[in-house]
A and B are shown apart, each in its own frame.
Chain A
Amino acid sequence: MSLLHLAVLSPFLLALIVPVLYKLFRQIHTGWFVLLLPILLFSYFSRFIPLTKQGDVIRERADWIPSLGIHIDFYVDGLGLLFALLITGIGCLVIFYSIFYLSKEKEKLNQFYVFLLLFMGAMLGVVLSDNLIVLYSFWEFTSLSSFLLIGYWNERERSRYGAQKSLLITVLGGLCLLGGIILLSVMGNTFSIRELIAQSGQLMDQALFTPALLLVLLGAFTKSAQFPFHIWLPDAMEAPTPVSAYLHSATMVKAGIYLVARLSPVFAESGTWLWLVSLTGLITLFWGSFSAIKQTDLKGILAFSTVSQLGLIMSLLGLGAAALHYDSMGENIYLAATVAAVFHLINHATFKGSLFMVAGIIDHETGTRDIKRLGGLMQVMPITFTVAIIGAFSMAGLPPFNGFLSKEMFLASMVNVLELDIFNLDTWGMLFPVIAWVASVFTFIYSMIVVLKPFTGKLQLSLLERKPHEAPIGMLVSPIILASLVVIFGLFPNLLSTSIIKPAVAGIQPGFALDDFPVHIAIWHGFTPELWMTIGIIAVGLILYLFFQKRQKPLLLLPDHLSLNAVYDASLRELERSSSFVMKWLMTGSLRTYLLSIFSFFIVSLGFTIYWKNAFALDTGHFAPVGFYELLLAIVIVVAAIAILFAKSRLTSIIILGAAGYAISLFFVLLRAPDLALTQLVIETISVSLFLLCFFHLPLMASRKEERMSFKLNNAVISIGVGVIVTLIALSAHSNKLFDSISSYYLENAYKEAGGKNVVNVILVDFRGLDTMFEISVLSIAALGIFAMIKLRLTRRKAKS
């Protein structure tokens, strides 16, 4: 355990205390307590900036499961640090904002902040872990906390729907990621990312490489809402706005980006990676921006815009992989794509965060987020309007804001694709700049919609739920800080270039030394193709925006039943329908049918295995001698078993069954196993009395008189079959001793190691104590299950009568 471990675990620890603080200090908004932690963490992580700037890394190790090579290794390099700073920095602002957004009287603040802290800790764990299994555990934790936060207002149907959708999609991806991780570890024989990167050259040629790549990408794409998995993100907007700003735009959805960036050195050599990542990113960019202009909900627009911006970053990361194939280049132009990705990641967090907070303010002050009802808010909310205009213009890629710079770099990278001559890019590469340009036009349009629709035009008070006025100062602080960052990064981009961006890029492209890529970002870079593209975007975007203004109808609306959402809903419905169909077919409610199928399966599977593996063996050498008493007991058991068949009433059969059981316990006595004999004896007693109790519950046969079932051939075959199979297995197991018996070990060590003379009991409570632990857990579950089922039936019966 080191300070770094403590820093990552601290949100979890605070989450334990939050409910107590909430109960103790009801007068104080719980958010104030929580706010302290991200501030502390942010300053803690800031201290690493000078270290990573020089290319140093910090690593700390704590053991978790050393025997499997799973250690809690935390590793701070440029990339991890960038994310840690984003998580804690945006975290501060979001928590501060939430203090004014969520009322302390009405909301369940204790739950909210516990979930938020869980998320913060999990996300820090994802970006700082070196061990893939640890990363995966934290990864699923982020999905879980996101689920809880989306469903925070769980009385709303849409919240529950959105929460379930996000959980299903992201956990599905998470499981794929786990598969990918396991394949990677099979190939590389390690869970450590560092060690995998070191042997990336050999991994390429292995057969499992492509499956691992696909599975890891599935995990990343679902998390980062890439097409066609993006459908969960718009529905996640049911979460409170601070959550949308934090999880669903600034941090959690970037976990997929982080994973792609982190594992780039492992996979990026392959053409599949380059094509898949960049093309999926581009399609997402296009589809997200295109869908955004059709939305009427302010947060809906921002959700699709997040989808599209994530696609943009993803495509840049994909193209950055091309740099690996040109290591001889003096100034590697493909590295610029990675630089642009990192820079845009930061910029997106600033402008999108501020826009989400603006949307939250509008919602809070007017009671609606529908852009058809909003208008003219500029007069009443001048500060909010200023923030919105900065954020939206940055998103649209207008100078002098930071979005302009990274957008230009993005366009430049897309134009550079034309010069690539690997993986067939020379023929299909033309697609990249074209899609990028078209998507940017749509981006421009929706950015204008976000800022112009609510703030300009006529204020129609009759459409709003309350009379709007400027938000309280507390709610404005966070968006103002983010908007000022947008301006500062826009005017002085080189504040970031060497301190943050360069070390982060070095983390994605470890093959290059820090000095290989001079990161220099300038607003004016001459009349380059990308500048002409931007001018084109603004011109065409403005024309289209005005055109849409006139025609209220959106163009090209996909019919609802063809949308991806319909596919998701239909598959969920289908899943429920078919599983209930199977359940109805299997679970008839008749105990006899269950037993028949269980026993038939038992006979067929075991019998076939014995036959197929030729497993039957008979070796009479080890058999105990059969004496008078043994023979007598065997006869008693056989007679009892046969007598049950002819017993007239159930009561008689139960008692005869008990007699057979007692006879078996006598066998244990003969074979000198007092523990077994004792247990069997008591078990027999109790199960007979239990049978007698259940006896009343069995349905009476026709006419209240018990009748014996008539002879049925299949029942006879199955019962004889079970007996034969069990006997065969018992004989073979006794005759085949493949290993030395472990009993001598127990006999020798029971007293020496565990201080007990009764070996059976020592095994139960000590040597194999975990087995016992889980056995009693299963017993408890069974008892509670029986309790619940019977009580449930009783109450239902009462309700009926």
Chain B
Amino acid sequence: MKQNDLILQTVTKVAAFVILLFSAAIFLGGHYSPGGGFVGGLMTSAAIVLLLLAFDLKTVTAILPIDYKYMIGAGLLISSLTVAGGLLFGVPLMTHAYRYVDLPLLGHISLHTAVLFDLGVYLVVVGVTMTIIQTIGESE
């Protein structure tokens, strides 16, 4: 059944980017303001799901040719390496390190290994949600 979803498609073209950018913002800001890898990942998936609803699966896979299963693996790898990384420095598992730096334009910001861990979470969440949705969507 082909519907006329011109409005949805037009809005999506703009909204998807806004959502993606917003998800990146709450992912990065997670340590200081509401957000983090989990919500960020979910929001990114929401943006992709919106694309899926507006267009069809084929178009979306053409835009984002990603195998989400590998994304899960990559995320798990990054997280577990961050967890284990402390062992190399003789501190217990899961010990994070951080320091504050002053960068031009960006100003006073903190660099934190927790972001790496959160990046893993982010990738896993996007990977998991999209794997499930894509597989179920494809099977129709």
Residues in chain A within 8 A of chain B (CB atoms)? 674-675, 678-679, 682-683, 685-686, 689-690, 693-694, 696-697, 754-758, 760-762, 764-766, 769-770, 772-773, 776-777, 779-780, 782-784, 786-787, 790-791, 793-794
Pairwise interchain contact A773-B83, C-beta atoms closer than 8 A: yes
Please name all residues of chain A whose beta carbon is closer than 8 Å to the beta carbon of B38 when the two chains form the complex: 679, 764
Please name all residues of chain B whose beta carbon is closer than 8 Å to the beta carbon of A682 when the two chains form the complex: 39, 42-43, 46
Residue B101, interface by CB 8 Å: no
Pairwise interchain contact B129-A686, C-beta atoms closer than 8 A: yes
Please name all residues of chain A whose beta carbon is closer than 8 Å to the beta carbon of B30 when the two chains form the complex: 758, 761, 765
Pairwise interchain contact A787-B34, C-beta atoms closer than 8 A: no
Which single residue of chain B is at the shortest CB-CB distance from A762?
B31
Produce 1/0 per residue, B17-58, CB < 8 A to A.
Answer: 000000000100011111111110011011001001100000
Give Cα A29–Cα B41 distance, bound, in whole angstroms.
51
Pairwise interchain contact A783-B96, C-beta atoms closer than 8 A: no
Residues in chain B within 8 A of chain A (CB atoms)? 26, 30-39, 42-43, 45-46, 49, 52-53, 69, 72-73, 75-76, 79-80, 83, 93-94, 96, 98, 110, 112, 114, 117-118, 120-121, 124-125, 127-129, 131-133, 135-137, 139-140
Please name all residues of chain A whose beta carbon is closer than 8 Å to the beta carbon of B76 when the two chains form the complex: 776-777, 780
Pairwise interchain contact A765-B118, C-beta atoms closer than 8 A: yes
Give Cα A665–Cα B86 distance, bound, in whole angstroms.
37
Pairwise interchain contact B31-A757, C-beta atoms closer than 8 A: yes
Give Cα A715–Cα B80 distance, bound, in whole angstroms.
43
Which single residue of chain A is at the shortest CB-CB distance from B23?
A682
Pairwise interchain contact A678-B128, C-beta atoms closer than 8 A: no
Pairwise interchain contact A679-B124, C-beta atoms closer than 8 A: no
Query: SS class of chain B's interface: helix, strand, loop or mixed?
Result: helix
Give Cα A697–Cα B31 distance, bound, in whole angstroms.
40
Most buried by A among B45, B72, B73, B112: B72
- Known contacts A678-B39, A689-B53, A758 near B69 by CB under 8 Å: no
Give Cα A783–Cα B128 distance, bound, in whole angstroms.
5
Give Cα A608–Cα B116 distance, bound, in whole angstroms.
45
List 3 A-B pairs, minimum CB-CB distance, nearest first: A783-B128, A674-B34, A756-B31
Pairwise interchain contact A786-B131, C-beta atoms closer than 8 A: yes
Pairwise interchain contact A772-B121, C-beta atoms closer than 8 A: yes
Please name all residues of chain A whose beta carbon is closer than 8 Å to the beta carbon of B125 when the two chains form the complex: 776, 779
Pairwise interchain contact A755-B136, C-beta atoms closer than 8 A: no
Which single residue of chain A is at the shortest CB-CB distance from B68?
A783
The listed residue (B36, B49, B79, B96) touching A754 by CB distance below 8 A is B96
Pairwise interchain contact B42-A787, C-beta atoms closer than 8 A: no
Please name all residues of chain A whose beta carbon is closer than 8 Å to the beta carbon of B124 when the two chains form the complex: 776, 779-780
Pairwise interchain contact A770-B93, C-beta atoms closer than 8 A: yes
Please name all residues of chain A whose beta carbon is closer than 8 Å to the beta carbon of B35 when the two chains form the complex: 675, 678, 758, 761
Please name all residues of chain B whose beta carbon is closer than 8 Å to the beta carbon of A765 when the two chains form the complex: 30-31, 36-37, 96, 114, 117-118, 121
Please name 20 further chain A to chain B contacts, defined as beta carbons within 8 Å, in addition to the given A756-B32, A790-B139, sorted by A numbering. Answer: A678-B35, A682-B46, A685-B46, A685-B49, A686-B45, A689-B133, A755-B110, A756-B31, A758-B33, A761-B31, A762-B114, A765-B37, A765-B118, A766-B96, A770-B83, A772-B121, A773-B80, A773-B94, A780-B128, A794-B139
A441 to chain B, nearest CB (A): 60
Give Cα A678–Cα B79 distance, bound, in whole angstroms.
23
B29 to chain A, nearest CB (A): 8
Please name all residues of chain A whose beta carbon is closer than 8 Å to the beta carbon of B83 when the two chains form the complex: 769-770, 773
B40 to chain A, nearest CB (A): 9
Pairwise interchain contact B132-A783, C-beta atoms closer than 8 A: yes
Which single residue of chain B is at the shortest CB-CB distance from A770?
B94
A501 to chain B, nearest CB (A): 43
B48 to chain A, nearest CB (A): 10
The listed residue (B69, B94, B140) touching A784 by CB distance below 8 A is B69
- Known contacts A689-B53, A794-B139, A756 near B121 by CB under 8 Å: no
Please name all residues of chain A whose beta carbon is closer than 8 Å to the beta carbon of B133 when the two chains form the complex: 686, 689-690, 693
Please name all residues of chain B whose beta carbon is closer than 8 Å to the beta carbon of A780 when the two chains form the complex: 72-73, 75-76, 124, 127-128
Pairwise interchain contact A773-B79, C-beta atoms closer than 8 A: yes
Most buried by A among B30, B36, B79, B118: B36
22 A-B pairs with C-beta separation under 8 A = A675-B34, A686-B129, A690-B132, A690-B136, A754-B96, A755-B112, A757-B33, A758-B30, A761-B36, A761-B118, A762-B114, A765-B30, A769-B94, A769-B114, A773-B83, A776-B125, A779-B125, A780-B75, A780-B76, A780-B127, A783-B69, A786-B131
Give Cα A793–Cα B139 distance, bound, in whole angstroms.
9
